[in-house]
Structure 1
Amino acid sequence: MVLLFGIGLKLADSLSLVVSFPTMLIGFALHSQGTSFASLRRNWAFAILITVGSIGDAFVGGQLAGTVSSAVLLPVLAAILVISPVKVWPHGRRPRPRSVR
């Protein structure tokens, strides 16, 4: 949105959250009715840890957005967008797990 429409970085971030939140709520409501959340029920401690970490990160990010200039935030966010796929993408060929019968 910053490049396409020329709006500020902070406004684009806020608009992204406004658009994402209803989508996440609907997805959560639809998937929670099936068996999709069985692993989440088994790993509830991890889910709570991730939730608390996300809330803390959102708070810190909100505080930084009010004090750090866009000239600093834009390169940092660009670096995160470049590094994240590299860290997530599988490196090398992994052997396929055998099915247990």
Structure 2
Amino acid sequence: MTKTRLLLATNNAGKIQELVHLLDGIPLAITTPEDEGVVLDVEETGSTFEGNATLKAVAFAAASGLRALSDDSGLEVDVLGGEPGIFSARYAGPNATSDQM
């Protein structure tokens, strides 16, 4: 039986590792943008985590011809009214490093 190929629609090595772990045991042939030679930087213009994940999955699927799975997440702090939300990665400023976020 041929396994369904699934592209993990992210360039983030940490997210790839997390998704591979979560999908362990499911009969899928998991692949990455690097494996497929897909180079994309999808602008996250959605108004929700789901919207941003959908934008990335659709773009990577269109570029690769494969089914694609994406994830988007961030921090929602109650005392900040749910902020930074979808802007979590940008909250520390445009030049912030991963360690500062």
Q: Which TM bucket (shorter chain)? A: under 0.3
Structure with the higher helix share, 1 or 2: 1
In the superposition, the TM-score normalised over structure 1's length comes to: 0.26
Larger Rg: 1
Structure with the higher strand share, 1 or 2: 2
In the superposition, the TM-score normalised over structure 2's length comes to: 0.26
